[in-house]
Amino acid sequence: GAVVSQHPSRVICKSGTSVKIECRSLDFQATTMFWYRQFPKQSLMLMATSNEGSKATYEQGVEKDKFLINHASLTLSTLTVTSAHPEDSSFYICSAREMDRSNEKLFFGSGTQLSVL
């Protein structure tokens, strides 16, 4: 099956710094990628939808200047957490949409645990 690579898997940073997370579709072209956030023992919350070559669509309550999303190619989307603070500590997961002939499929990355000190 299709593989989505996400890295880093874990990152620890100081408050005020920026962190970039990459999400790559390895063997298919992903016109759309999604970014989710998951707090411990909670569900996945959609943060934004990223379409190749256009601006991301953010969910209500998600600060677009805080969470910068770039989808410059059909195989790569990045999420940059700018000026990170301890409350941004969370598990971030990406997913990529593959369109095949019959239906669409979503594949998930392995996630990134962000810890802001």
Partner 1 sequence: AQTVTQSQPEMSVQEAETVTLSCTYDTSENNYYLFWYKQPPSRQMILVIRQEAYKQQNATENRFSVNFQKAAKSFSLKISDSQLGDTAMYFCAFMTSGSRLTFGEGTQLTVNP
Residues that bind partner 1 (CB under 8 A): 32, 34, 38, 41-46, 49, 91, 93, 95, 97, 103-104, 106, 108, 110-111
Smallest gap from residue 12 Cβ to partner 1 (A): 17
Give the shortest CB-11-to-partner 1 separation in angstroms.
15
- Closest approach, Cβ 8 to partner 1, in A, equals 14
User: Smaller CB distance to partner 1: residue 14 or 53?
Assistant: 53
> Residue 1 Cβ, how far from partner 1 at the closest point, in Å?
9
Which CB, 14 or 102, lies closer to partner 1?
Answer: 102
Question: How much of the chain is in helix, strand and coil states, percent to nearest 5?
Answer: 5, 55, 40
Looking at the Cβ atoms of 29 and 42, the one nearer to partner 1 is 42
Residue number, 74 or 108, with CB nearest to partner 1: 108
| Residue 14 tokens, joined | 């100081």
DSSP code string of the chain: ---EEEE-SEEEE-TT--EEEEEEESSS--SEEEEEEE-TTS-EEEEEEEETTSPPEEPTT--TTTEEEEEEETTEEEEEE-S--GGG-EEEEEEEEEE-SS-EEEEE---EEEEE-
